[in-house]
């Protein structure tokens, strides 16, 4: 089920977030989201590179 959010929907979401957290908390919230995404990317890279290393080890044993 794809979500088609237009510009109006994004603006509404941003206004609601601004009202809930206030302007002073938004930079902190943005940094936390950025750190979370960075950690997620690093862990997925580690998993995919770990799979490739295991495949290479199996090929060398054969």
pLDDT at 4: 83
Q: Which two tokens stand for residue 20?
A: 């809930």
Q: Cα separation of 62 and 59, whole Å?
A: 5
Answer whether 26's CB lies under 8 Å from 18's CB: yes
Q: What is the pLDDT of residues 11-60, one digit of tens each?
A: 999 899 889 988 888 899 889 999 999 999 998 888 887 666 666 666 66
- Residue linked to tokens 């890279």: 45
Q: Cα(45)–Cα(52) distance, rounded to whole angstroms?
A: 11
Q: Does this model's pTM top 0.85? A: no
pLDDT digits (tens, 9 = 90+) for 32-45: 999 999 999 998 88
């Amino acid at each position: 089920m794809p979500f088609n959010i237009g510009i109006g929907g994004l603006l509404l979401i941003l206004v609601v977030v601004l009202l809930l957290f206030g302007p002073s908390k938004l930079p902190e919230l943005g940094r936390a989201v950025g750190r979370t995404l960075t950690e997620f990317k690093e862990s997925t890279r580690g998993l995919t590179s770990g799979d490739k290393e295991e495949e290479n080890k199996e090929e060398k044993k054969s």
